Chain A
Amino acid sequence: MGIELSARVDAVPPSGIRKFFELAEERDDVISLGVGEPDFATPWRARTAAIDSLERGRTSYTANRGMLELREAISDHVEREYDLEYSADEEILVTAGASEAVDLAFRAFVDPGDTVAVAEPAYVSYAPGVTFAGGEVLGVPTRERDEFRLTREALEASGASDAEVLVLCFPNNPTGATMREEHLEPVAAFAREHDLTVISDEIYAALQYEHDHTSIATLPGMRERTVVVNGFSKAYAMTGLRLGYVMGPSEAVMGMNRIHQYAMLSAPTTAQYAALEALESCDDAVDEMVAAYDRRRNFLLSRFDDIGMDCFRAKGAFYAFPEVPGERTGDEFAEALLKEEGVAVVPGSVFGDGGDGHLRVSYATGMQALREATDRIERFVAEH
């Protein structure tokens, strides 16, 4: 009777985002604060570099690991920006989006039955990725009272000491939480003591508004047990170009490359040319986007304050994570808000248990839409 899905695939439910996407598509006056990608177009210089590469016929595979020139540019970039030192030769792998890098990490480091601790609420792809790799997910809650930072106490209380792998993502999707060095150190100590491999998804590293980014891989004793995932999607507004990269000790990166060379061969060539140009000439464009996000963040948090929605001061990515006002669950609130006022937000429960009772509100949208949307939310909250 037809094709039977594997148990691994069968075990993973469809994304909870889907339901809200379909509801939002039903009407055409929706203002969406539910979008997880920049509203800016890719900086023009990066786009022209992609066009030029096509005109010159640069449409073949590249080296599995990505073009050497691009890996060298990444190596320089992460050293300059984040004090991360990785050689272009064997410690950097260019992937089809950071998503591929995360998936490769699970498949390369997780054996069937291994436990993977995931700081939750979390980006929706981690748990399915662990399941596809045959691992077991262990959710480690982050809490609003800690501004959604991962704590050593939560790791201990969840039993993460028995895990093989720890996944963290700061700045965080969906909470907008960030972690400074002093907050990362206890987590690093825990990882060292319990011999955890750390997958640090730092795709939002460039989008922080109150302090600089610290990578957990820069802490003592962490480089050898950490792979750092980053990419071009968020900082350079290049989501559709699908380009990310992962950095780590050579044996880890070469292990991931072993999967990548069979499954992907190489990341999209056109996107690699765009990324190279982005690193070489688009810093000013990134600065302008960061400044615009920061203005919107201030605006949004100030409006939540007026409306009476409790919201911790998110310092990174482009999300705020307010509490659901009143008695409704996040799902009920988000669905009613969408139906009655045409504003789409994503209920926190989509991002795991810890997200319940919150809403992910994206400010990757223009000021005019943000103003109108917050006016509608204010009216909705007043009427309920």
Chain B
Amino acid sequence: MTRDSRDALLDCLLENARYSTDDLARMTNLDAAEVEEVLAELEADGVIRGYQPVVDWEQTDRERIRAIVEINVELDRETGYADIAARLAGYDAVDTLRLVSGDYDFHIEIVGESMRDVSAFIADEVAPLPAVTQTVTHYAMTTYKEAGVEFGDGDDDDRLSVSP
């Protein structure tokens, strides 16, 4: 498949990952079988790693706590960033894990059902790792925007319904 059709489909899915195969086909001028083929290819190549909804948890009655943790590590002959990352990524509670530039090394986001859960996880599982020299934990208080989606009331379409 051409690079163009891969890019076109990715752009569609970034707009809305729930578009049906039919809609995707119409929007990209491909046929449905081609869409399925390109999507399968994107998945097999590890370009598309998953499909998830963008959830505003404040609108649910489920408790969900998110903490952003800055982690400093000390590398040694046997331990590189990838080793530490593999160790951290294995935990279900670790939602997001990135190596970053700047004052600390890893930026991780921990998700749990309560602040106690999350604190315990950091204290029991993250901080004690031999490579970890320091952690700074920030609890997320309010989410205003996630994955490109604003969590406000949204803009009403206030255009005239028919205009020249």
**Cα–Cα distance between A255 and B62 once the two chains are bound (Å):** 67
Across-interface contacts of B25 in A (CB, < 8 A): 302
Return the CB mask of A308-321 against B: 1 if under 8 Å, else 0: 00000000000000
Across-interface contacts of A59 in B (CB, < 8 A): none
Do residues A302 and B26 form an inter-chain contact, with CB atoms below 8 A?
yes
Do residues A298 and B162 form an inter-chain contact, with CB atoms below 8 A?
no
| Cβ of B101 under 8 Å from chain A | no
Q: Which of B26, B159, B161, B163 contacts A30 (CB 8 A)?
A: B161
**Cα–Cα distance between A30 and B159 once the two chains are bound (Å):** 13
**Cα–Cα distance between A346 and B162 once the two chains are bound (Å):** 8
Whether A299 touches B161, Cβ cut-off 8 Å, given contacts A41-B155, A291-B11, is no
Do residues B163 and A21 form an inter-chain contact, with CB atoms below 8 A?
yes
Across-interface contacts of A124 in B (CB, < 8 A): 164
Size of interface on B: residues with Cβ below 8 Å to A = 20
Across-interface contacts of B65 in A (CB, < 8 A): none
Which residues of B, 108-164, contact A by the 8 Å Cβ criterion? 155, 157, 159-164
Minimal Cβ-Cβ distance residue in A for B160 = A21
Do residues B28 and A25 form an inter-chain contact, with CB atoms below 8 A?
no
Q: How far does the Cβ of A368 sit from chain B's closest Cβ, in whole Å?
A: 8
| Cβ of B96 under 8 Å from chain A | no
| Cβ of A183 under 8 Å from chain B | no
| Cβ of A303 under 8 Å from chain B | yes
Do residues B16 and A367 form an inter-chain contact, with CB atoms below 8 A?
yes
Q: Which of B11, B23, B163 contacts A35 (CB 8 A)?
A: B163
Q: Which of A17, A25, A367 contacts B163 (CB 8 A)?
A: A17
**Cα–Cα distance between A39 and B154 once the two chains are bound (Å):** 13
Which residues of B, 1-59, contact A by the 8 Å Cβ criterion? 8, 11-12, 15-16, 19, 23, 25-29
Across-interface contacts of A30 in B (CB, < 8 A): 161
Whether A34 touches B159, Cβ cut-off 8 Å, given contacts A299-B23, A367-B16, is no
Which residues of A, 1-53, contact B by the 8 Å Cβ criterion? 15, 17, 20-21, 24-25, 30, 32, 34-37, 39, 41
Minimal Cβ-Cβ distance residue in B for A36 = B163
Q: How far does the Cβ of A102 sit from chain B's closest Cβ, in whole Å?
A: 12
Whether A299 touches B26, Cβ cut-off 8 Å, given contacts A292-B15, A367-B19, is yes
**Cα–Cα distance between A56 and B157 once the two chains are bound (Å):** 30
| Cβ of A222 under 8 Å from chain B | no
Across-interface contacts of A296 in B (CB, < 8 A): 27
Do residues A17 and B162 form an inter-chain contact, with CB atoms below 8 A?
yes
Do residues A34 and B15 form an inter-chain contact, with CB atoms below 8 A?
no
Return the CB mask of A120-146 against B: 1 if under 8 Å, else 0: 000111000000000000000000000
| Cβ of A328 under 8 Å from chain B | no
Do residues A37 and B161 form an inter-chain contact, with CB atoms below 8 A?
no
Across-interface contacts of B16 in A (CB, < 8 A): 367
Counting from the closest, the 5 A-B pairs by CB-CB distance are: A34-B162, A302-B26, A295-B27, A21-B162, A24-B161
Chain A residues at the B interface, C-beta cutoff of 8 Å? 15, 17, 20-21, 24-25, 30, 32, 34-37, 39, 41, 123-125, 173, 291-292, 295-296, 298-299, 302-303, 344, 346, 367, 371
20 A-B pairs whose Cβ atoms sit less than 8 Å apart in the complex: A21-B161, A32-B161, A34-B162, A35-B159, A35-B160, A35-B161, A35-B162, A39-B157, A123-B164, A173-B164, A291-B11, A295-B11, A295-B12, A295-B27, A299-B26, A302-B25, A302-B29, A344-B161, A367-B23, A367-B27
